[in-house]
Amino acid sequence: MKKISDRIFYVGVNDTDKVQFEGLWPLPYGVSYNSYLVVDEKVALIDTVECGFEEEFISNIEEAIADRHIDYLVVNHMEPDHSSLIEYVMQRYPGLMIVANARTVPMLKGYHGTPEEKIMVMAEGKRLSLGSCSLSFHMIPMVHWPETMVTWLDEEGTVFSGDAFGTFGAVQGDVVDDEDTFAQYRDEMIRYYSNIVGKYGNPVQSALKKLSGLDVKRICSTHGPVWEHNVDSVVSLYDRLSRYEVEKGVCIVYGSMYGNTAAAADALAMELEAAGVPYCIHDLAGNNSGELGISGALRDVFKYDTIVVGSPTYNNGIFPPVETFMKALQARLIKGRRFYAFGSYTWAGASVRQLNEMASSMGFVLLGEGMSFAQAYSREKCDMAALAEILK
Ligand code: FEO
């Protein structure tokens, strides 16, 4: 438990055991499931945490309010990392009412069998008095599910923002940020955004527009630190990411079966290094342990303006992990990128052509027809110095 202000208490937990978030995304630094209490004449709990943390969660709550009762459980978002313990909390605090919006009601019934008489349905902007302060509720659909809303505590300039402004990475130390915290979490925040929310740029823009009318002094999201000292930086990063804005640089993403496409990728990386071009390189085939794979590649697609993709020809098509990456770009509606493809084949090349077709379908600018080479990689077959010049 951590006291954030006279009224607000952090009662969330860190998960450093889970290997993959949503069963997909690596968690090398863990993740936090944040939950908050607003304590006034009435007590409101905002979101719960993932199942498996029942004891720690209740212990945090009791440390904050001792034997006081919880009057309201505000459900900002129904994804199970935040809603898993709804029934558990309702059993512990039987008089409690669920506070949610209309789109949440069928999900509450479907996931938890919550009876309608236990749900207070809140319309957009509706206020709920807790005594000396009040909460209001604002829909931000598709950030990250259609039912998602934020809760605004005007008296504290605090937005309980759900997944918005969240980040991977367990919460270290003090929970509330300091001047250095944003720099420490920036990469994991971009990875979180690109992996989880990246498809929803337009809804995030709509949400930011809605929040721009509020004087936000504190952001309490469901993942990562409480933001007080970096509110502008955090909002501005989300603004930039949701507009698909990038800086100059090259994101090399490849998969390789026997090392030839990998050798070409490495050779290109060396030429970019020599030319002073910012770049990153991601192996999707899992040959390098410790790599983030597609998760890290998506993060860097949201950083750099140029994507270079390498795939050998496999079953007369794209190597499956690389095809999955390309589909992940399509799913996230990535736009405004420069693109180049390369890859080896043995008897008939198909991957580069198909990669170009997928890139064209996303409106990417092709920087050439690509580099499809037969059998082994060699400097003679692949002029990576010339390609680095094109990519500058
Ligand atoms: Fe952290 Fe969309 O749940």
Looking at residue 109, what is its pLDDT?
97
pLDDT value, residue 131: 98
> Ligand 1: does its nearest atom lie under 6 Å from the Cβ of 144?
yes
Q: What is the pLDDT of residue 78?
A: 98
pLDDT bracket for residue 46 (50, 70, 90): very high
CB of residue 222 inside a 6 A radius of ligand 1: yes
Per-residue confidence band for 360, with pLDDT thresholds at 50, 70 and 90: very high
CATH topology of 2-242 equal to that of 247-391?
no
pLDDT tens digits, 188-223: 999 999 999 999 999 999 999 999 989 999 999 999
pTM of the entire predicted model: 0.95
What's the pLDDT at 104? 98
Instruction: Say which CATH superfamily domain 2-242 falls into.
Output: Ribonuclease Z/Hydroxyacylglutathione hydrolase-like (3.60.15.10)
CA of 33 to the centre of ligand 1 (A): 9
Instruction: Label each residue of the chain as H, E or C.
Output: CEECCCCEEECCEEECCCCEECCCEECCCCEEECCEEEECCCEEEECCCCCCCHHHHHHHHHHHHCCCCCCEEECCCCCHHHHCCHHHHHHHCCCCEEEECHHHHHHHHHHHCCCHHHEEECCCCCEEECCCCEEEEEECCCCCCCCCEEEEEHHHCEEEEECCCCCCCCCCCCCECCCCHHHHHHHHHHHHHHHHHHHHHHHHHHHHHHHCCCCCCEEEECCCCEECCCHHHHHHHHHHHHCCCCEEEEEEEECCCCCHHHHHHHHHHHHHHHHCCCEEEEECCCCCCCCCCHHHHHHHHCCEEEEEEECCEECCEECHHHHHHHHHHHHCCCCCCEEEEEEEECCCCCHHHHHHHHHHHCCCEECCCCEEEECCCCCCCCCHHHHHHHHC
Cβ of 77 less than 6 Å from ligand 1 = yes
Residue 13 CA, ligand 1 centroid: distance in Å: 14
Instruction: Give the model's pLDDT for residue 286.
Output: 72
Compute the average pLDDT of residues 136-160. Answer: 96
Mean of pLDDT values over 154-170: 97
Q: Is 60 exceeded by the pLDDT of residue 228?
A: yes
For residue 167, pLDDT over 70 is answered with yes
pLDDT band at 105 (very low <50, low <70, confident <90, very high): very high
Mean pLDDT (the chain) is 96
283 touches ligand 1 (CB under 6 Å):
no
Question: Does the structure show a pLDDT above 80 at 290?
Answer: no
Task: Specify the fold of 247-391.
Answer: Rossmann fold (3.40.50)
Identify the pLDDT of residue 348: 96
The residue extents of the domains of the chain are 2-242, 247-391
